Amino acid sequence: MIIDPNITTYIYSIEPDGDPGLEALRIYAEEKNVPVIRREMEPFMRVLLQTVRPGRILEIGTGIGYSALFMDSCLEHPEIVTIENYEPRLQEAEKILEGHTNIKLVKEDAANALKELEGPFDFIFLDAAKAQYMAMLSDIRRLLPKGGILLADNVLQDGELIRSRYLTPRRQRTIHERMREFIWEMKHSPDFETSLVTLGDGIILSIKKGI
Ligand X SMILES: C[S@@+](CC[C@H](N)C(=O)[O-])C[C@H]1O[C@@H](n2cnc3c(N)ncnc32)[C@H](O)[C@@H]1O
**Smallest distance, Å, CB 111 to ligand X?**
6
Measured in degrees and rounded to the nearest 5, phi and psi for residue 8 equal -60, -45
CB of residue 155 to ligand X, shortest distance in Å:
12
Q: Report which of 111, 145, 147 is spatially closest to residue 126, judged by C-alpha positions.
A: 111
Minimum CB distance to ligand X, residue 148 (Å): 19
Q: How far is Cα 40 from Cα 70, in angstroms, rounded to an integer?
A: 13
Residues in touch with ligand X (CB under 6 A): 35-37, 61, 63, 66-67, 83-86, 89, 109-111, 127-129, 132
Which amino acid, one-letter code, is at 84?
Answer: E
CA atoms within 13 A on the CB side of 147: 7
Minimum CB separation from ligand X for residue 110, in Å?
3
Residue with Cβ nearer ligand X (123 or 164): 123
Smallest gap from Cβ 209 to ligand X, in A, equals 26
Q: Least Å distance between CB 191 and ligand X?
A: 23
**Closer residue to ligand X, CB minimum distance, 35 or 119:** 35
Which strands sit side by side in the sheet containing 123-126, from one edge to the other?
Answer: 103-107, 79-84, 56-60, 123-126, 149-152, 203-208, 192-197
Closer to ligand X by Cβ: residue 113 or 144? 113
CA 66 to chain centre: 11
Looking at the Cβ atoms of 110 and 183, the one nearer to ligand X is 110
Find the farthest-apart pair of alpha carbons in the chain and give their distance in angstroms, rounded: 49
Q: Residue 28 or 180: which CB sits closer to ligand X?
A: 28
Task: Give whichever of 110 and 156 is closer to ligand X, judged by the CB atom.
Answer: 110
Q: Report CA-CA distances (Å) from 177 to 124, 163, 165.
A: 23, 11, 9
Strand partners, 194: 206
